[in-house]
Structure 1
Amino acid sequence: MMSDRVPPGIRASVPNVARMYDYYLGGKDNFAADRDAAEKVLAIIPEIRGDARNSRAFLQRAVRHLTQAGVDQFLDIGSGLPTAGHVHEVIDGAKVVYVDNDPVVLTHSRALLGRSPGVTVQEGDLRRPEDVMAHAADVLDLSRPIALLVVSLLHFVTDGEDPAGIVHRYRDLLPAGSYIVLTHVAPDTMPNKADDVSAVYRNATSPFTPRRRAEFETFLDGFEILEPGIVNTREWRPDPTTDTSRISGDYHLCAVGHKHP
């Protein structure tokens, strides 16, 4: 767990969505307020820990697949606190830019990843695509394809902020041949629990807005969706050597899209 000493500018008394996710994954970079809020979510959906693990495993499989497809540049927006199996640990020799707007995430990421070869940590907000891409261009070659990773993040963007429009702006800015990796919590999988979970997150740093599959599909307009299409995270090209049957919980929809050259 984090030290009781709180860095300047950090609101330890307000549950933070990145630190709550770290707690779900079994991490130690969280405060009491984060743990209390996370436990309230776990009381509603005990399987949330398994869901977080499924989402992380999907990200790793997608990154490996894109590396095999020849992608060697990755832009991870809303990357969260560094945990086991972070993107740069899954691939070898590629450039990775982690982007987040959370001061805790930035501080810890820079401290832990500052000397990792090929890794850059940048401040940025998903809701400002032009700024994020311009800053990423300091490191990545935007004349060549990149992989844009937006995992476990879009459900923290409100309807009024137009999440589909934000994704489409990134689509238009991405180099031809690029890929996008998306996940989103869908109430289709927990129709009787979504409102209760949203109520917990109303007291956190970002509200929680689950969206149904039909809405998630619109985010991918203009991309060719790779097989097996839009599925739950554990269903996307599962690793035959890994037994996921004991990992309960799969509330994320996911997809990998390709922007044709």
Structure 2
Amino acid sequence: MDARRTGTGAAPVPDGAGTARQDDSAATSPGERPPIPADPSGGVGRRCADHPDDQDCWAKHAHVAYVDQQLAGYTTDGYPVDIDLAAALLALDPTQRQAVLDRKKFGSATTRRAAESGITQFLDLGCGYPLPYRPRRRSRSRPSNIHETFEEVNGRTGARIVHVDSDPMVIAYARAVLDSWPHQVGCLQADISDIDLVLGSPAVTGNITADRPVAARLHAALEWIGDDESVAAVIDRLWQWLPSGSSLSLTHAITDHAPERTAALVQAYQTAGLPWYPRSLADLTGLTAGLPPGDAATDQQWAAGPVGEAARRTTSSVFATTAVKP
């Protein structure tokens, strides 16, 4: 999940890339997150993008990536400000937990479909916190990480995965656990609204080759960008960049399911300093009009019916669709 909206002005920390080694000792219990090193990224520390001069920012201000973990029920640890916001959101709309889990389940389904089609390169835009590497020991209590799903499908390692997020602590944490992942992994702290910067960064160009398909994902990332033109530009530019045979999966919070509850959630996020921009199905249909129809094969592993129909049902607060580039 992209942890901030556009316009933070934060300077990206250096790109990270490399081939990680396998280390079974890194495995933890389902949903458990190992302690984040005090300063795993050479100076990021506990500062965040919106409050770079405040070393105690993480104890004072809610952050989307932490709140997302709380909403999913993956962890009971964290800072009180994040725990309290997640609790308030669930009190306003108890279906938010299922919405987050549905989104993550959809992410696992799209990754599985991509791996089954032979794709070995993955670009996760607005990645949020990765869970510790568990070689072929998937827990049924949560959806899989990209690398786990890839291994389940192929019976081997070797994926190329690039994680992008605007939150420096998300990227610092991802880098801190890279040594336990036997895949070629890159990390980039960047605002995804500057999509050309992202696609041209060493983290992307050093790990992803332009002559092979890529599975790109924008899961719960665009709802933190308030400008529709910027959202459309990200989608269009990314689609243009993807090689033939690639896939693009997208999820987004919608307003149609429960407008009054959604308005209350928007206000709660706003009060916490996290402007959130769910959109209507009509708006999202327009923003994704340049993509081909959804991939029904992916949706068969997620919910009944073609993706295009499932994404537009008002029984869910999550818009989800996958497009495959000819």
Q: Return the TM-score normalized by structure 2.
A: 0.69
**2:211, 2:273 → 1: CA distance?**
36
Residue 121 in structure 1 maps to residue 187 in structure 2: yes
**1:53, 1:103 → 2: CA distance?**
24
Q: Which amino acid aligns with 1:86?
A: N
Runs of 4+ in 1 over 3 A off after TM superposition: 5-8, 203-206, 227-231
Residue 76 in structure 1 maps to residue 124 in structure 2: yes
> Compared with structure 1, are the counterparts of its residues 59 and 34 closer, same or farther at alpha carbon in structure 2 (3 Å cutoff)?
same
* 1:54 alignment counterpart: 102
- After TM superposition, list the pairs within 5 Å mapping 1:1-261 onto structure 2: 7-10=45-48, 11-12=57-58, 13-26=60-73, 27-28=75-76, 30-83=78-131, 85-92=144-151, 93-118=158-183, 119-135=185-201, 136-159=204-227, 162-204=230-272, 206-228=274-296, 235=303, 250-260=316-326
2:160/2:208 contact within 8 Å kept: yes
**2:235, 2:274 → 1: CA distance?**
18
Q: Please state how far the C-alpha of 1:112 moved relative to its aligned partner.
A: 1.8
Q: Please state how far the C-alpha of 1:230 moved relative to its aligned partner.
A: 11
- 3-state SS, counterpart of residue 184 of structure 1: strand
Q: Which amino acid aligns with 2:186?
A: T
**1:253, 1:228 → 2: CA distance?**
15
Q: Please state how far the C-alpha of 1:160 moved relative to its aligned partner.
A: 5.9
Q: Please state how far the C-alpha of 1:14 moved relative to its aligned partner.
A: 1.0
- 3-state SS, counterpart of residue 188 of structure 1: coil
Moved more, 204-213 or 93-102: 204-213
Determine what percentage of the aligned residue pairs are the same residue: 26
**1:76, 1:103 → 2: CA distance?**
15
2:46/2:169 contact within 8 Å kept: no
1:50/1:250 contact within 8 Å kept: no
**1:29, 1:181 → 2: CA distance?**
30
Q: CA RMSD in A?
A: 2.6
Structure 2 residue runs of 5 or longer lacking an equivalent are 1-32, 40-44, 49-56, 132-141, 152-157, 307-314
1:214-234 alpha-carbon deviations (Å, 9 max, x no partner): 211233233222344998x95
1:1-28 alpha-carbon deviations (Å, 9 max, x no partner): 878x893414221111111001112225
Q: Which amino acid aligns with 2:181?
A: S
> Compared with structure 1, are the counterparts of its residues 153 and 186 closer, same or farther at alpha carbon in structure 2 (3 Å cutoff)?
same
> Compared with structure 1, are the counterparts of its residues 215 and 95 closer, same or farther at alpha carbon in structure 2 (3 Å cutoff)?
same
**1:29, 1:172 → 2: CA distance?**
41
Q: Please state how far the C-alpha of 1:124 moved relative to its aligned partner.
A: 2.1
> Compared with structure 1, are the counterparts of its residues 210 and 229 closer, same or farther at alpha carbon in structure 2 (3 Å cutoff)?
farther
* 1:245 alignment counterpart: none
2:113/2:298 contact within 8 Å kept: no
2:129/2:173 contact within 8 Å kept: yes
* 2:53 alignment counterpart: none
Q: Please state how far the C-alpha of 1:134 moved relative to its aligned partner.
A: 1.2
Q: Please state how far the C-alpha of 1:56 moved relative to its aligned partner.
A: 0.7
Q: Please state how far the C-alpha of 1:90 moved relative to its aligned partner.
A: 1.2
1:208-259 alpha-carbon deviations (Å, 9 max, x no partner): 111111211233233222344998x953679xxxxxxxxxx84111000122
1:14/1:203 contact within 8 Å kept: no
Structure 1 residue runs of 5 or longer lacking an equivalent are 239-248
Q: Return the TM-score normalized by structure 1.
A: 0.85
Q: Please state how far the C-alpha of 1:207 moved relative to its aligned partner.
A: 1.2
Q: Which amino acid aligns with 1:129?
A: I
